[in-house]
Amino acid sequence: MKLDTAANILAKIGNPTRLKIVRLLVRAGDEGMPVGMIQKKLGIPGSTLTHHITHLKSAAVIRQERRQATLVCKMEFDVLRNLVDYLTEECCADVASAEDAA
């Protein structure tokens, strides 16, 4: 993963509202969650929610699939996994601590 890509993803999920969305979707698993339900849970205007969803989509953190009249948001788990790998592959490489076995 390129540094700019990682920085972009980190910046996107580094906003409290968007991190809340990410957490909801992570818990929702592969089923995802409709925009409307996210809006209810967060209690914010639709336009504001769309703004944040657009950010998350632009970094491929989430994707949307239409199911009937509702749009379902789903976590891109691979992207999140790659991001964590990017951080951990460098992280702690020089720090052979005892906690590794935990």
Binding site for DNA (CB under 7 A): 11, 15, 17-18, 34-36, 39, 44-55, 64, 66, 68-71
Smallest gap from residue 80 Cβ to DNA (A): 18
What are the backbone angles phi and psi of residue 61, rounded to the nearest 5°?
-75, -35
From the list DNA, a copy of itself, none, pick the one residue 52 interacts with, judged by a Cβ distance below 5 to 8 Å according to partner type. Answer: DNA
Smallest gap from residue 21 Cβ to a copy of itself (A): 11
Tell me the β-bridge partners of 75: 62
- How far is Cα 39 from Cα 71, in angstroms, rounded to an integer? 12
